[in-house]
Structure formats: C-alpha cells, structure tokens
Amino acid sequence: MSRLTNFINGIEGVISGGSATARFPVTRRYHNSLLFVAGALTATPGTPLVAENIVDSMQITVNQVLIRDMSCAEYRKIAKFNGLTIDDNVIPVYFSEPWRKTPTGEESFSWDLVGQTEMVMKVNFKSDLVGMSLKILAEFDFDRNTAINTADGNPFFFLNIMRQKGTSYNPGAGEFDITTLPIIDPIHRIHMQVAAGTIDKIEVFKDDIKWVEGLTAQYNERLVQGGFDPSLFSLSVVFDPDQQASSFIAVKRTLLVRPTFSAGGSLRVLLESAANGFR
C-alpha cells in the first residue's frame, strides 16, 4: 500500500520552557515523523535558531510505556550516523529504518498501532525563546506487519519496535566496565558520548565471549567502510554493520562493555534494541 503523509493535529503546549504533547491516531502503521521547529532567543528575536537550540529532548510513549527518550541532538545524530542529510530545523523520528538493505527489513521496524490505546510524543522546549512553532508530518499506511508461521503456514501479526534510551555514567580515566545495560531485547547498536576527552579503545563481551575489540580509530574505519558516519558520537558499537534487520546480539547471561577513556567525566550511553512489543 502507498504511504500517506499527514500533519499531526491538536499539538498543545508550544511555549518557551514548556513541554508540547502530540497524540498520534492509533488506527495505522507509522514509518516516520518529521518535526519542523522554529524559534529565536528572546534577546535576539531576529536570528532564527537551529533545532538543537530550540528543543531539548523528546519522549515517545505507547500505552504510557516509555519507548524512546533522547535529546534533540541524538535523534538527529542517529539519522546522520546512517548517512541521511537532515535540514537544520528538522528533528527526524524514524520507526521504519530507511537505511536497511531491503524494504522488508526497513518496514519490519514500523510501529503498527492497531489495537494500542495511545501514542504520545512529548517535545521539551528550551527556555528564553520567542517566535516558536512546531509542525509534525507523519508518514503512515494501513497495512499490518505480518509473517508466516513456519509450523502451519498461517500468517500472524508481529511487532519489532526499536527502543532508543540513554543511561548516564561517570567513569574515570582508563578502562571502565559497563555491566548494567538492559539485555532483555536483541541489541543492534550502542552509542557512547563523553563530555571530555576521548574513547580510545573498546571491548564488548557477550556471555563471556569477546564480541568486539579494537582501537577507536581502527573500529571507526570498519564503520566508514560500511557507510556509517562515526564522527557523530564519541564511539558507536554496531552489531548490524550489514544493515540487515536480522543482525543483532541476543544476550543470554551477561553483557560487559569496556571502553577506555583518555579522561574522566560524564558518559552518555544510548542503546538501540528491538522489542517484540510496546513494553
């Protein structure tokens, strides 16, 4: 079925320092939504700002369950990391992932909301702004995500929702063991951003097997060869470099992520993992 594009109507709370809420109709399957934002500082009302200086963060909930929680910059970085060009005043939110190798793989991540109660997007604006505006253009259709049961040959509906959430740490210089990342869902990518210094080396152990090892410069060359832009984060660990929806790691027991830092300071770890429902 051909995809439709409609604005999301009834957005409330577009004010300086406020949180705007947009409610998405739940009778359809969503592929993406583009947020067009505008605004200027109160002190310089004639000078428009870029998206990162207008919107602080965005949360998306389905049935009041938090599915995505990222900064404006992180939404934009995810798209650019995968090779997309984004206008300065656009915040892209991809459900289906256009960078996947096949249309089937792309649409396998779409958000089929049929049967769900609600989907709400909250957009948190920065303070001291004037001339603000927000429009959300959603792309959707009325198809369902279906697959064939190999046991009986019958079709069934499925969900494969890419969750995107961040966790903060405060490591010192040198090696730092991260052992508290959620492992219930298959993991596609781990993005790390430091406030100071660099990440010089990475090791990842899945179920006591060393899955990833390399100096950052060497590992990034692997990503560049795969068509990614590793400059967007301090370090990105990619378990699906072939851009196939079926490539990921499924952790059974333990996950140890061990970056090596040139300096101490705050660390933001953004996890992309695929869940089989809105949970």
Token pair, residue 75, equals 């939404």
Among the candidates 106, 139, 159, a domain finishes at 159
pLDDT above 80 (res 154): yes
- pLDDT for 148 equals 84
Same domain, 106 and 179: no
Looking at the structure, tell me whether residues 122 and 172 fall in a common domain.
no
CA distances from 253 to 183, 207, 209, 240, 250 (A): 8, 5, 11, 20, 9
17 and 151, same domain (yes or no): yes
200 has a pLDDT exceeding 90: yes
Domain boundary among the residues 128, 159, 190 is at: 159
pLDDT tens-digit series, residues 18-48: 999 999 999 999 999 999 999 999 999 999 9
For residues 93 and 188, membership in a common domain is answered with: no
What is this structure's pTM? 0.96
- CATH code where residue 173 lies: 2.60.120.730
| DSSP one-letter string for 239-265 | S-TT--TT--B--SS-EEEEEEESS-S
Residues 145 and 169 reside in one and the same domain = no
Identify the pLDDT of residue 213. 97
Q: Among 125, 141, 159, where does a domain finish?
A: 159
Mind listing the pLDDT tens digit for each residue in 221-268? 999 999 999 999 999 999 999 999 999 999 999 999 999 999 999 999
Q: Name the band, by pLDDT with cuts 50, 70 and 90, for residue 153.
A: confident
Question: Per residue in 155-197, pLDDT tens?
Answer: 889 999 999 999 999 999 999 999 999 999 999 999 999 999 9
Torsion, Cα 85 95 28 67, to 10 degrees, reads: -140
Rounded average pLDDT over 111-140: 98
Range of the domain at 139: 4-159
By DSSP bridging, strand 65-71 and strand 161-169 are: parallel
Q: Are residues 185 and 132 in the same domain?
A: no
CA-to-CA separations, 103 to 109, 137, 208, 240, in angstroms, rounded: 11, 21, 35, 16
Q: What percent of the chain has pLDDT over 90?
A: 95
